């Protein structure tokens, strides 16, 4: 791996006011794909790229990304949470978008080297972490619609606080009744850039009405899918339910971790198709006791208000519920190495 270090380090932001994804560290990891292979990984100063106006990804959206985090533990070590799962998911996204596979081991070693160089950017205040964003874009300079012959892969790092402005305070989510995020057979199960572009309008609509994000339903507006940047869970009649991975939603790594934690704790959980009408009926019957989202950026985000057909369903008096709280504590406990990791999820930066 070639390493070119920056001469003068950037000034750090105030780590108590980070927000999400606003600051970037001193270095980044890059490699280019041409003639059927990736070049040697390089760590270079974080800087702008120069790109051709005709570059394929700018026109046809052949672009994918991932999101994972590094955490500073109380004793000063750095952990990574399930990094190989993110890189393997990136390879599945790449396959769906006709993009080349990355070598998961080489890239994860590269990310660890990058983290060592920029380790002083990992914030340590409660609720903060270093967000890692691997990205792949098509770089061929041609306007024909076909899979690009060349690509750029890069990893940038951003010290972050909580994704939602109000931290662990319950979120307000609006059930989207008009637009659709992804059909089965589409790209909904991948982390491709176009999914996010397609979700913006519903997100804006939700924001304008005073909600944080939209809850997507399936193409027939019957079944619950996921939220803009997180998977969704409902606690109904004491059973934790989350939409099954039918091919239109992202198989979240936090979602998978939540299901494994629930199983370990003996809390009944189901991956199933969930009718939005079933959620509403449970609310009316008083059996919908909690709702929460899960994601790398969102961690565990309780849902306090669900806007549905002009009505605000207030869940658990708009407070974080016991299952959401337990999951938040356990998940972050494992990530920050305060709790023993029985699952082999955490990797240490040595």
Contact set with ligand PLP (CB under 6 A): 67, 226, 229-231, 250, 252-255, 294-296
User: Binds 188, which of ligand COI, ligand PLP, none (CB < 5 to 8 A, cut-off by type)?
Assistant: none
Q: Which is nearer to ligand COI, 20 or 280 (CB)?
A: 20
Q: How far is the CB of 295 from ligand COI (least distance, A)?
A: 4
Rg, C-alpha atoms of the chain: 20
Please choose, out of 71-79, 171-179, 291-299, 311-319, the segment that lies near ligand COI by the rule CB under 6 A: 291-299
Please report whether residue 296 would count as binding ligand COI according to CB under 6 A.
Answer: yes
Please report whether residue 43 would count as binding ligand COI according to CB under 6 A.
Answer: no
Q: How far is the CB of 306 from ligand COI (least distance, A)?
A: 20
Locus of tokens 């669900």:
306
Q: Which is nearer to ligand COI, 63 or 295 (CB)?
A: 295
Please choose, out of 102-110, 293-301, 315-323, 334-342, the segment that lies near ligand COI by the rule CB under 6 A: 293-301
Please report whether residue 94 would count as binding ligand COI according to CB under 6 A.
Answer: no
Q: Which of residues 57-86 bind ligand COI (CB under 6 A)?
A: 67
Token pair, residue 181, equals 């995020």
Q: Which residues contact 266 (CB under 8 A, 6 or more apart)?
A: none
Q: Which is nearer to ligand COI, 31 or 195 (CB)?
A: 195
Whether 199 and 210 have beta carbons less than 8 Å apart is answered as no
Q: Which is nearer to ligand PLP, 43 or 224 (CB)?
A: 224
Surface-to-core class of residue 316, CB atoms within 10 Å of its CB (0-12 exposed, 13-18 middle, 19+ buried)? buried
Q: Which is nearer to ligand PLP, 157 or 253 (CB)?
A: 253
Q: Which residues contact 150 (CB under 8 A, 6 or more apart)?
A: 32, 33, 34, 138, 139, 140
Alpha-carbon span 316 to 237, nearest angstrom: 13
User: Taking the C-alpha atoms of 200, 202, 205 and 206 in order, what is their torsion angle to the nearest 10 degrees?
Assistant: -100
Q: How far is the CB of 67 from ligand COI (least distance, A)?
A: 2
Q: How many residues bind ligand COI (CB under 6 A)?
A: 5
Alpha-carbon span 216 to 299, nearest angstrom: 19
Q: How far is the CB of 323 from ligand PLP (least distance, A)?
A: 17
Please report whether residue 229 would count as binding ligand COI according to CB under 6 A.
Answer: yes
Q: Which of 297, 315, 331, 334 binds ligand COI (CB under 6 A)?
A: 297
Alpha-carbon span 44 to 24, nearest angstrom: 13
Which string of DSSP letters, residue by residue, matches 119-170? GGGS--STT-EEEEEEEEEE--B--SSS--S-EEEEEEEEEE--SSTTTTSP
Name the residue with the smallest CB distance to ligand COI: 67
Binding site for ligand COI (CB under 6 A): 67, 229, 295-297
């Amino acid at each position: 791996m070639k390493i070119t270090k920056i001469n003068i380090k950037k000034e750090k932001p105030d780590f108590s006011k980070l927000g999400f994804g606003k600051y970037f560290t001193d270095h980044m990891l890059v490699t280019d794909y041409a003639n059927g292979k990736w070049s040697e990984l390089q760590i270079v100063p974080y800087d702008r790229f120069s790109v051709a106006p005709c570059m394929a990804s700018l026109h046809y959206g052949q672009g994918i990304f991932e999101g994972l985090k590094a955490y500073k533990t109380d004793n000063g070590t750095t952990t990574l949470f399930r990094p190989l799962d993110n890189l393997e998911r990136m390879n599945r996204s790449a396959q769906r978008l006709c993009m080349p596979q990355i070598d998961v081991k080489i890239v994860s070693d590269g990310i660890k080297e990058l983290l060592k160089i920029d380790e002083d950017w990992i914030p340590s205040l409660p609720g903060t972490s270093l967000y890692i964003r691997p990205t792949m874009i098509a770089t061929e300079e041609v306007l024909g619609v076909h899979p690009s012959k060349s690509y750029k892969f890069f990893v940038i790092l951003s010290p972050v606080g909580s994704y939602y402005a109000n931290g662990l305070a319950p979120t307000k989510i609006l059930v989207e009744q008009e637009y659709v995020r992804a059909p089965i057979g589409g790209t909904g199960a991948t982390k491709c850039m176009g999914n996010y572009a397609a979700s913006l309008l519903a997100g804006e609509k939700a924001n304008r009405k005073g909600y944080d994000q939209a809850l997507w339903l399936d193409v027939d507006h019957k079944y619950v899918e996921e939220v803009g940047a997180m998977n969704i869970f409902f606690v109904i009649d004491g059973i934790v339910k989350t939409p099954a991975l039918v091919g239109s939603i992202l198989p979240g790594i936090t979602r998978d971790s939540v299901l494994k934690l629930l199983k370990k704790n003996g809390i009944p959980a189901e991956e199933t198709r969930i009718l939005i009408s079933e959620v509403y009926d449970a609310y009316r019957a008083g059996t919908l006791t909690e709702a929460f989202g899960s994601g790398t950026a969102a961690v565990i985000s309780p849902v306090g208000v669900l806007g549905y057909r002009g009505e605000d369903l207030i869940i658990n008096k708009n407070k974080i519920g016991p299952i959401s709280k337990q999951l938040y504590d356990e998940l972050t406990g494992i990530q920050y190495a305060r709790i023993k990791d029985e699952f082999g999820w955490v990797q240490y930066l040595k």
